[in-house]
Homo-oligomer: A and B are copies of this chain.
Amino acid sequence: MTKVSVIGATGYAGAELLSILIRHPQAKIAHITSESHTGKKISELYPHLRGLCDLTLESLADIDAIGKDSEFIFIALPHGHAMDVGLKLEKLPVRIIDLGADYRFTDTKIYESWYGVEHKHPNASRVYGLAEIYREDIRTAKIIGNAGCFTTASILALAPLVKHHLVDANSIIVDAASGVSGAGRGLKLGNHFPELYDNFKAYNVAKHRHTPEIEQALEDLGGERTVINFTPHLVPMSRGILATCYATLKDTVADEMIDASFQKMYGDEKFIRLLGRGGYPETKFVRGSNFCDIGWHVDDRTRRVIILSAIDNLVKGAAGQAVQNFNIAAGFDESTALDVVPMYP
């Protein structure tokens, strides 16, 4: 059994991580932490875990001891805090999977300008944690910067087209919508039930922090400078992200070339289900699972391709992806503990 710990276990991503890890046959949860609820049982905060996970929350103050007692550490803290943990664990053999943004950027200047904080660990040995693209690097990484939720849906939708240079990279627009769990468990008026119910809205237009993360991956795949529009929306539901991605096709691109690019890149991927040209993913078809469902449509009138992708923001968009990365890094079967049937209806 591989010993793992979860730093920041009381947010939705942390709790989802515990839900997956307690079913993992090759992982043993050694420590879980929370600064605001130290000493409480996790099942007091999340009664759905009663009888399944009654571990007591510890404090980060003991991070050195926790690091020594763990082979892998998952960090589910707000951005800006994971790098403190990463720095402290740098000399220990423990490997890190950070669910936040601190270790996602190759160029920490980009991180600093979008997140407004100084990066304290710029020279960390790290890899971007999106297995379908960076699998080989993940196997041996010290620190894995787990891809974000909107970014996972967006990058997976666009990667084959950008990699094969079928679209004009600077024509890309990603219009995406997420369930409210993506905003976390922290209370705010906008997520108060009566405010959001029977309501739909956009937010952070032209300034959401997942924008540069998508651009980084697309630049890496396409080999050219890429500037996109990304617009997030909030859907009155708990879970799920649908990304609707637009790109202008290059002149000579035939529909079959588009189809082939998806097939080539994802044909063997266990967690990507290709619905093909004309396919319509729905968030509920992947709810609770690590799947990313993808369909695409070609508009001959405008010569744009529209790609639709759906994930569960807490699974493939956070905790599931983290465990997928963990499985790769630890040498386990990649789908261990992730062979969940989506919950429908």
Contacts and interface: CB of A to CB of B under 8 A. Distances in A.
- Measured as residues with beta carbon below 8 angstroms from the partner, the interface class of chain A is 35 or more
Contact of A200 (B203, B229, B283): B283
Contacts of A48: 284-287, 289, 341-344
A201 B299 contact: no
Contacts of A19: 341, 343-344
B188 A187 contact: yes
A297 interface: yes
A280 B202 contact: yes
Pick from A22, A185, A235, A293 the residue with the most CB of B within 10 Å. Answer: A235
A199 interface: yes
Interface string A156-200: 000000000000001001010101110001011101111111111
A302 B227 contact: yes
Contact of A273 (B15, B51, B181, B200): B51
A47 interface: yes
A91 interface: no
A244 B233 contact: yes
Pick from A181, A185, A339, A341 the residue with the most CB of B within 10 Å. Answer: A341
A331 interface: no
Interface in A270-285: 273, 275, 280-285
Given A201-B281, A229-B304, A306-B205, A192 B194 contact: no
A253 interface: no
B197 A238 contact: yes
Pick from A19, A200, A203, A286 the residue with the most CB of B within 10 Å. Answer: A200
A283 to B, nearest CB: 5
A131 interface: no
Interface in A292-310: 293, 297-299, 301-302, 304, 306, 308, 310
A63 interface: no
Interface in A16-42: 19-20, 22-23
A12 interface: yes
A206 interface: yes
B201 A180 contact: no
A85 interface: no
A49 interface: yes
A180 B198 CA distance: 11
Nearest to A235: B200
Contacts of A200: 177, 179, 235, 237, 240, 242, 282-283
Interface string A306-345: 1010100000000000000000000000000001011111
A282 B47 contact: yes
A44 to B, nearest CB: 12
B235 A236 contact: yes
A237 B236 CA distance: 7
Given A229-B302, A229-B306, 5 more contacts: A23-B339, A50-B293, A185-B194, A198-B284, A233-B242
16 contacts: A23-B341, A46-B344, A48-B284, A48-B287, A48-B341, A48-B344, A50-B275, A173-B246, A175-B246, A179-B198, A180-B193, A180-B194, A200-B235, A200-B237, A205-B297, A205-B308
